[in-house]
């Protein structure tokens, strides 16, 4: 894409890249460096941390039961990924591969459902989970997150399934496969990249979600990490080193995930959004 | 898109006998519904029923007593009359919600589009570096991102007040940006834009990649300047994707909750900074007025419903495509 660019143009691009890097990275840098800074609470505008310590992490993990919160988050996230991947794949195959009455209606419904402001459903879902006695349980939270990630997952996977040429499927039929065998040995491997993209999205939805976890989990042994971090937030003074250490612990898995799979993720999201 | 040819119903294999053919046909007609059933059940129970229920609750005076007994207590439109007749809604909550969302959407789209165009112009190495860094901004969860921005703007020891103090621009410990409505929302906007622009940038960049290489070259041969190339080739190509990210940003930014609630004073201590989402939460879970909270939630939903109509229209061109 690079054509003959003038010197002024090149300087402009360099400046834009620098601005982008600073704006994007500064909060990440400030979080991580404060987490390791022994004097984080009085850091002010010191660009470099005053030293290096693991005390904040030790404090968060030992005193705050933060390990348990992280484990809770991971459990809920994994449950959401498995369930939503399975259900979404079935639904995506149905809308991408079959022609049936009301197909368009189902598609539009899946699209519109993504627009429902989930925050508006806190009250009824709280009452519903209360009636089912699932309020303080990780299963209850998993089920709710499943509903949140499902429409997007169906919509994205639909694009991936539709992109598999139907000739490939027909070849499998000609070779004597039944529908189920074709699904398992032909379609599933081919849509695996899409499945990766939607799984990551579902995991991150669950890992990052705040309001439902905040409302549903009243027993502090059931807190997720995002809610547990709230406890380090004092009303009058805040132990910033500890909060930043906790924030780093929550952010790091997501960060590594995103950077590792960025191509696939971007492709998946783009094909879901544009197709 | 070429692969998306409509899939015809497959001719039944070995379907010479009419009865087995009929059974196979019924099976085929049923199969999509069997595949859809689990997903649709989940959506019905966890999205549609709660949606209906929040509307029902909004017509009730639903407090602690009703929570415990489970009985209903319909009061007609009272909740709506209270809310809509409250100048608090018109002077504080609605402007907060709408202007904040407007600023966030506008800035997110501008930054996202510029970054996408920038990515297009970069060489391979810098493009990988920049997109990796963008991913890092995206990856930062809303909750931790909010804490980091609070820390950055902390009035006592934050980097911004420390820096401005060092330059002698502010009196230390006397400037608290979280108490003033405008600066509170400026920080929240920074937070939301930082978190939201990567999605826009990556999606639009993906759309830019669909421009065939020959097209700009042909345009150059035909004597089109850079400006013409931008308006006649780039803009039309990314327009559908742009419509999608616009509407999605609007929807995400109208219902922002954690980024406001977790800020100092955002949880109800400072009434000036409430938006619709937080107000609904506080009415229900802090004041136990679940009916009023539901009515506010319904208002928020209706606001977004209007926008959803636009979204579906924008996509209806692609609707026929499977």
Quote the minimal CA–CA distance from B196 to chain A in Å: 11
φ, ψ of residue B97 in degrees (nearest 5) = -65, -50
Chain B interface includes A17 (CB < 8 A) = yes
Condensed to tens digits (0 to 9), the pLDDT of residues A20-78 reads 999 999 999 999 999 998 887 777 777 788 888 888 888 888 876 888 999 999 999 99
* pTM reported for the whole predicted model: 0.84
Q: What is the 3-state secondary structure (H, E, C) of chain B?
A: CCCCCCCCCCCCCCCCCHHHHHHHHHHHHHHHHHHHHHHHHHHHHHHHHHHHHHHHHHCECCCHHHHHHCCCCECCCHHHHHHHCCHHHHHHHHHHHHHHHHHHHHHHHHHHHHHHHHHHHCCHHHHHHHHHHHHHHHHCCHHHHHHHHHHHCCCCCCHHHHHHHHCCCCCCCCCCCCCCHHHHHHHHHHHHHHHHHHHHHHHHHHHHCCCCCHHHHHHHHCCCCHHHHHHHHHHHHHHHHHHHHHHHHHHHHHCCCHHHHCCCCCCCCCHHHCCHHHHHHHHHHHCCCHHHHHHHHHHHHHHHHHHHHHHHHHHHHHCCCC
> Which tokens belong to A262?
């960025």
Given this model, what pLDDT does residue B259 score?
Answer: 92
For chain B, give every domain's residue range: 18-50, 88-318
CA pair distance B225, B244, nearest whole angstrom = 29
Taking residue B173's Cβ as centre, other Cβ atoms within 10 Å add up to 11
CA pair distance A227, A229, nearest whole angstrom = 5
Quote the minimal CA–CA distance from A78 to chain B in Å: 17
Of B180 and B166, more confident = B180
Question: A interface mutation test: which of B97, B107, B143, B245 has the most A CBs within 10 A?
Answer: B143
> Which tokens belong to A254?
């997501």
What ipTM was estimated for this complex? 0.84
Which residue pairs from B310-317 have beta carbons closer than 8 angstroms and sit at least 24 positions apart in sequence? B310/B247, B311/A111, B311/A115, B311/B244, B311/B247, B311/B248, B311/B251, B312/A108, B312/A111, B312/A112, B314/B240, B314/B243, B314/B244, B314/B247, B315/A111, B315/B243, B315/B244, B317/B240
CA pair distance A56, B228, nearest whole angstrom = 56
Is B118–A16 a contact, with Cβ atoms under 8 angstroms apart? yes
Given this model, what pLDDT does residue B146 score?
Answer: 93
Is A30–B245 a contact, with Cβ atoms under 8 angstroms apart? no
Coil, strand or helix: which one is A261? coil
Task: Inform me whether the pLDDT recorded for B10 exceeds 90.
Answer: no
Given this model, what pLDDT does residue B315 score?
Answer: 65
CA pair distance A15, B132, nearest whole angstrom = 18
Residue linked to tokens 């399934």 = A161
Q: Look over chain B and give the mean of its residue pLDDT values, rounded to a whole number.
A: 84
Q: Within chain A, which residues score under 50 in pLDDT?
A: 1-2, 270, 272-275
Given this model, what pLDDT does residue B6 score?
Answer: 45
Closest by Cβ to B39, choosing from A1, A143, A154: A154
Whether the Cβ atoms of residue A230 and residue A210 lie closer than 8 Å to each other: no
Q: How many residues does the structure list for chain B? A: 322
CA-nearest residue of chain B to A272?
Answer: B203
Quote the minimal CA–CA distance from A17 to chain B in Å: 8
Chain A interface includes B189 (CB < 8 A) = no
Condensed to tens digits (0 to 9), the pLDDT of residues B183-206 reads 999 999 999 999 999 989 988 988
Confidence of residue B322 (pLDDT cuts 50, 70, 90): very low
φ, ψ of residue B11 in degrees (nearest 5) = -65, 140
Given this model, what pLDDT does residue B209 score?
Answer: 85
**Least confident stretch, B14-23, B175-184, B261-270:** B14-23
Quote the minimal CA–CA distance from A24 to chain B in Å: 6
Is CATH 1.10.3720.10 the classification given to domain B88-318?
Answer: yes
Chain A interface includes B163 (CB < 8 A) = yes
Given this model, what pLDDT does residue A114 score?
Answer: 78
**Least confident stretch, A43-47, A139-143, B3-7, B109-113:** B3-7
Closest by Cβ to A210, choosing from B51, B143, B205: B143
Is A122–B262 a contact, with Cβ atoms under 8 angstroms apart? no
Enumerate domains of chain A plus CATH numbers.
Answer: 7-53 (no CATH), 57-274 (1.10.3720.10)
Given this model, what pLDDT does residue A267 score?
Answer: 53
Whether the Cβ atoms of residue A230 and residue B262 lie closer than 8 Å to each other: yes
Confidence of residue B12 (pLDDT cuts 50, 70, 90): very low
């Amino acid at each position: 894409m690079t054509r003959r660019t003038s010197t002024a143009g090149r300087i402009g691009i360099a400046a834009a890249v620098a601005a982008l890097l600073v704006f994007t990275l500064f909060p990440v840098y400030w979080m991580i460096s404060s987490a390791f800074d022994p004097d984080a609470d009085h850091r002010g505008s010191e660009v470099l941390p005053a030293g290096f310590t693991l005390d904040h992490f030790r404090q968060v993990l030992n005193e705050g039961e933060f390990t348990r919160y992280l484990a809770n988050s991971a459990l809920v996230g994994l449950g959401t990924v498995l369930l939503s991947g399975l259900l979404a794949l079935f639904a995506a195959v149905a809308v991408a591969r079959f022609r049936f009455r009301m197909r368009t209606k189902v598609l539009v419904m899946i699209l519109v459902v993504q627009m429902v402001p989930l925050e508006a459903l806190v009250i009824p879902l709280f009452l519903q989970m209360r009636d089912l006695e699932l309020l303080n349980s990780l299963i209850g939270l998993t089920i709710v997150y499943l509903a949140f990630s499902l429409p997007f997952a169906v919509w994205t996977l639909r694009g991936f399934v539709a992109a598999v040429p139907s000739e490939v499927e027909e070849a499998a039929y000609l070779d004597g496969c039944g529908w189920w065998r074709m699904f398992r040995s032909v379609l599933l491997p081919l849509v695996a990249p899409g499945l990766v993209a939607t799984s990551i999205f579902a995991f991150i939805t669950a890992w990052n979600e705040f309001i439902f976890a905040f409302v549903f989990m009243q027993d502090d042994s059931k807190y997720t990490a995002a809610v547990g971090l709230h406890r380090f937030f004092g009303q009058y003074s805040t132990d910033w080193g500890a909060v930043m250490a906790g924030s780093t612990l929550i952010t790091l898995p997501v960060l590594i995930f995103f950077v590792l799979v960025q191509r696939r993720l971007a492709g998946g999201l783009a094909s879901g959004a544009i197709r | 898109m070429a692969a998306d040819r409509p899939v015809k119903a497959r001719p039944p294999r070995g379907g010479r006998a009419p009865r087995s053919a009929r059974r196979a046909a019924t099976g085929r007609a049923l199969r999509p519904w069997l595949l859809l059933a689990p997903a649709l059940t989940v959506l019905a129970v966890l999205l549609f029923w709660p949606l209906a229920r929040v509307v029902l609750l909004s017509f009730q005076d639903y407090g602690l007593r009703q929570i415990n007994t489970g009985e209903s207590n319909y009061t007609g439109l009272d909740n709506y009359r209270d809310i809509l007749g409250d100048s608090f809604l018109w002077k504080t909550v609605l402007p907060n919600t709408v202007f904040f969302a407007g600023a966030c959407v506008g800035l997110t789209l501008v930054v996202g589009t510029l970054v996408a165009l920038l990515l297009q112009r970069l060489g391979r190495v810098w493009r990988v570096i920049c997109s990796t860094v963008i991913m890092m901004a995206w990856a930062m969860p809303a909750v931790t991102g909010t804490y980091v921005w609070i820390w950055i703007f902390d009035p006592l020891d934050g980097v911004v007040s420390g820096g401005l103090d060092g330059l002698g621009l502010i009196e230390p410990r006397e400037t608290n940006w979280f108490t003033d409505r405008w600066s509170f929302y400026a920080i929240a906007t920074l937070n939301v834009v930082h978190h939201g622009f990567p999605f826009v940038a990556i999606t639009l960049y993906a759309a830019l990649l669909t421009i065939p290489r020959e097209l700009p070259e042909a345009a150059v041969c035909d004597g089109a300047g850079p400006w013409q190339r931008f308006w006649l080739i780039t803009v039309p190509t990314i327009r559908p994707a742009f419509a999608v990210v616009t509407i999605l940003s609007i929807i995400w930014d109208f219902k922002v909750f954690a980024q406001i609630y977790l800020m100092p004073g955002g949880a109800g201590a400072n009434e000036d900074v409430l938006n619709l989402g937080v107000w609904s939460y506080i009415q229900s879970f802090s004041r136990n007025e679940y009916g009023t909270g539901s009515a506010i939630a319904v208002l928020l939903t209706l606001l977004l419903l209007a926008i959803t109509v636009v979204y579906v229209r924008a996509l209806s061109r692609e609707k026929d495509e499977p």
